[in-house]
Amino acid sequence: MSTAAATINTVTRWLTYLLAIPMITLGIIGAILTIIVFTRQQSFRRNTTITYLLAGAIMTAIHLPFIYLQNILVDGFHLGVFNTNDIACRERNYLFYVTTVAAVSYPCWAAFDQYAGTCREAAFRHRWSSMRVVRLAIVSTVIFWAIVYFPMIFVSSSVNGVCILIDGPFAIFYNYVLAPIVFIVGPITLITVFTWGTLRNLHTTTLVKHNHRLAKQVRRMLIPQLFILALFGIPFGIDNMYQNITRKVQKDAIRLAIEHLFDQITRLFYHIIFVSTFYIYLYMSSVVRKVLRRLITKHFKNNVIIPTNISSDRPITLQTLKSINFSQ
Say whether pLDDT at 5 is over 90: no
Q: What is the pLDDT of residue 305?
A: 54
Q: What is the pLDDT of residue 144?
A: 97
Report CA 296 to chain centroid distance, whole Å: 24
Domains along the chain with CATH numbers: 3-284 (1.20.1070.10)
The pTM for the full model equals 0.83
Q: What is the mean pLDDT of the chain?
A: 84
Least-confidence region, from 104-113, 212-221, 254-263: 212-221
Q: What is the pLDDT of residue 110?
A: 94
| CB proximity list for 105: less than 8 A, separation 6 or greater | 141, 145
Q: What is the pLDDT of residue 28?
A: 94
C-alpha pair distances (Å), 155 with each of 66, 152, 172: 21, 5, 11
C-alpha pair distances (Å), 128 with each of 42, 59, 94, 115, 193: 21, 22, 30, 10, 17
- The predicted-structure confidence for 106-163, as pLDDT tens digits, reads as follows 999 999 999 998 888 888 888 888 899 999 999 999 999 999 999 999 999 888 777 8
H-helix or E-strand containing 8? helix 3-15
Q: What is the pLDDT of residue 205?
A: 60
Percent of the chain with pLDDT over 70: 89
Say whether pLDDT at 315 is over 80: no
- The predicted-structure confidence for 187-199, as pLDDT tens digits, reads as follows 999 999 999 998 8
Q: What is the pLDDT of residue 1?
A: 57
- The predicted-structure confidence for 59-95, as pLDDT tens digits, reads as follows 999 999 988 888 888 877 777 677 778 888 898 889 9
- The predicted-structure confidence for 285-296, as pLDDT tens digits, reads as follows 888 999 999 988
Which of the given ranges, 11-25, 49-63, 216-230, 243-257, has the highest pLDDT on average?
Answer: 49-63
CB atoms within 10 A of CB 201: 18
Say whether pLDDT at 325 is over 50: no
Helix axes 48-63, 212-245, angle to 10 degrees: 40
Number of H helices, E strands in the chain: 16, 4
What's at 1, amino acid-wise?
M
Q: What is the pLDDT of residue 304?
A: 56
- Average pLDDT of the residues in 5-17: 88
The dihedrals phi and psi of 324, each to the nearest 5 degrees, come to -85, 135
Task: Give residue 277's pLDDT band: very low, low, confident or very high (50, 70, 90).
Answer: very high
Percent of the chain with pLDDT over 90: 35
- Average pLDDT of the residues in 257-285: 90
Q: What is the pLDDT of residue 245?
A: 79
Given a contact cutoff of 8 angstroms between Cβ atoms, the answer to whether 27 and 271 are in contact is yes
Q: What is the pLDDT of residue 59?
A: 95
